Amino acid sequence: MGYMMIRGRHFSAPRWVKIVCCILGPLMALSCVPVKPYQRMYLQDRDMSLEGGAVEVFETNFESYREGASGANGGKTGGGCGCN
């Protein structure tokens, strides 16, 4: 698990990622009690949103410029270099 080969290069996810995938993934998918609509008062609060708010968009852009790990779900992913 977590192993792939691209153009002759080998990638293997670290052990902790495999453990997280194996344990938390199925837990999240299967072992939770459905929450009724009338129980969602706290979950629907604006501050419970797990996706970054619009006010964070500039910070996300600069992090993707100053750190090498942008791409896919990591913030700004294309259009210009930000190479200054």
Provide the terminal-to-terminal Cα distance of the chain, rounded to the nearest Å.
39
Q: Rule CB under 8 A: is residue 32 a binding residue for another protein? A: yes
Interaction of residue 6 with another protein, rule CB under 8 A: yes
Residue 24 tokens read as 């938390």
10 binds another protein (CB under 8 A): no
Based on the shown chain and the rule CB under 8 A, indicate whether residue 7 belongs to the binding site for another protein. Answer: yes
- Tell me which of 1, 3, 15, 72 binds another protein, using CB under 8 A: 72
User: At residue 68, what is the residue type?
Assistant: G
Residue 32 DSSP one-character state: -
* Contact between 33 and another protein per CB under 8 A: yes
Distance CA 66, CA 35 (A): 40
Contact 40, 61 (CB under 8 A): no
List residues near another protein by CB under 8 A. 4, 6-7, 9, 11, 13-14, 17, 20-21, 24-25, 28-29, 32-35, 37, 39-43, 45-51, 53-59, 62-63, 65-74, 77-81, 83-84
